[in-house]
Structures are given as C-alpha cells and as structure tokens.
Amino acid sequence: MIIRETPDSFWMVQQPDHAHLSGLIAEAWHDPYFELSPHREDTIRAVYSHDDSWLPADQTPFWNDVQRMPFSFIHYPSALKIVLYTNGINILEQEIPYSALLVSLHYSSFMNKQVEAESRFLRQEEARQHRLKQHLEIRTEEQQALLHYHFDLLQFCDNLSLYLCLNKPGTSKEDEHPFFQEGFKNSDHFAFTGHQKIHAFWPTPDQVRLRPFPFKSAFEMSMKTKKVSKLAIQENGLLPAYSQTDLSIITVTISPE
C-alpha cells in the first residue's frame, strides 16, 4: 500500500493501481531507441505488472504500531515483502521471462545486504537473473545496455507514479516528498533527454509538469485512491474503515514545463 498522511486521514493507493499508472507512463514514453527496440512490449508488461503480487496484501491492510499508521510499502515487514516479491516474479517468469528479469532487477535494487532475509533474496534473484539471461541469450555489451535501459525506464515510470501517489495535488517543491525534491533518481541515464535529470513540478492540483519532458505530448491519467478517516479507523478498526471507504479518482495531466 502507498500511503500519504494528512491531519485527519490516510490517502491509500493499492500497489497494483500505482503500477497501472506506471504502465500508462511507459506507453507514453517517446524515445525512438525504445520504440524500435526488441522487448519493448515485454518491458511495458513488466512496468504494468511489477506490483501485481501486492494485491492480496493491499486488500487487507494492517496497522503499524511503531509508525502509528497503516503499513505502507516503505515499512512493510521484510520477510512478508520478500514472499510477495518472489511469488510475483515466479508467476511472471512462467509467462514472460524478459519481464520477470526486469522485475527481479527492480526488486533487487531495494534490498539491503546487511539484512539476512534480504541478503538471501538477493542471492536467489542473482541466480534467477543469470539463468534468465542465459535463456534469453543476453550476452553482448549491446544487449546488456538495452536491458539496463529498460530497467532504468521501469524505475522512472515507477518513480513518476509514486510522485503522484505520495504528494498532495498541487504541492509546492519545498513540500514534496523527499524522494523527489532533487529530481528522479537515475533519470539522467537517458541520452534522448540530453542526460539531464528529470524534475517534476505540480503548479495546479490537476497538472504535473516535467523538465525535460520525455513524452511526445501531454497526456492525462486517473489515479484510484481512498481517503480513509482516522476517526473511522479509531472507531471501527483499519480493515472495516478501509473497506467501507469509497474510491476517489484524482485526474492529472502530465505536460511539459
């Protein structure tokens, strides 16, 4: 679950809904290198489905006593998170091996080798990545570079979607979530934007602007979220409060600065 806290509520976005936004972003990406590259469709599928394994957990959110809020993806227990990650990659590997390779690389990038469970996950996924590269015949420097380009794209799409989920619509730059105040991590890897780091700005509640702009034209997206009252949680418990809260739709246009 992705959570943004306000004084009286928690805005909660299910991870698969966030991943769907990421997929829409990937489809709008306007780099000729990507549009003509092998595995384009498999990359877009990886972006769309990278958080599908979170669905059962997000349908039954539970309370984090330490943070005094529902468990978010940031503080979710490592052991449980790794089970979700592994199951998701296993399913994807049976369907689209290249997509599974990208998602394995994506999840591995979050792991801390100093945590035993995460270190085991890293070893498991390193073996999977080696196996999948052999199966997909990814051997040359050019093929490796393309794989890393697709990985960087997945992470950018994920981060832009998280930007929409974690910030209040129309927030000022200084009040943004700290993940994004200095621009999107690794977004300077893309040659077609001049290796400039991509920055986002939210001048109005229904418009996000990017500099530089990596898409062909402005496009609109709608985000599913729930504004769950803290009072309802206190009176009824988290799961009933979440289940009884209606979905809200936040529509945003992504445009150049």
Flag whether pLDDT at 222 surpasses 90.
yes
Please tell me the predicted confidence (pLDDT) of residue 114: 87
Condensed to tens digits (0 to 9), the pLDDT of residues 76-119 reads: 998 999 999 999 999 999 999 999 999 999 999 989 888 899 99
Residue 53's alpha-carbon distances to 92, 172, 174, 242, 256, in angstroms, are: 10, 33, 33, 20, 33
**Start-to-end C-alpha separation, the chain:** 30
Identify the pLDDT of residue 1. Answer: 96
Please report, rounded to a whole number, the percentage of residues in the chain having pLDDT higher than 90: 93
- pLDDT per residue as tens digits for the range 162-205: 999 999 999 999 999 999 999 999 999 999 999 999 999 999 99
Query: Does residue 233 have a pLDDT over 90?
Result: yes
Q: What is the mean pLDDT of the segment spanning 129-140?
A: 96
> How far apart are the C-alpha atoms of 223 and 218, rounded to whole Å?
16
Overall average pLDDT of the 145-150 stretch? 96
Q: What would the mean pLDDT of 126-154 be, rounded to a whole number?
A: 96
Per-residue pLDDT at 160: 97
Q: Which domain holds residue 171?
A: 2-256
pLDDT for res 36: 87
How confident is the model at residue 109, as a pLDDT?
94
What are the helix (H) ranges across 167-237?
230-236
Q: At residue 24, what is the residue type?
A: L
Number of structural domains found in the chain: 1
Kindly provide the b/e burial profile for residues 167-188, where b requires at least 16 CB atoms within 10 angstroms of the residue's own CB. Answer: beeebeeeebeeebeebbbbbe
What pLDDT does 20 receive?
Answer: 96
Residue-level pLDDT at 150:
97
Give the pLDDT score at 141.
95
Structure tokens belonging to residue 162: 């998280």
pLDDT in tens, 7-44: 999 999 999 999 999 999 999 999 989 988 899 999 99
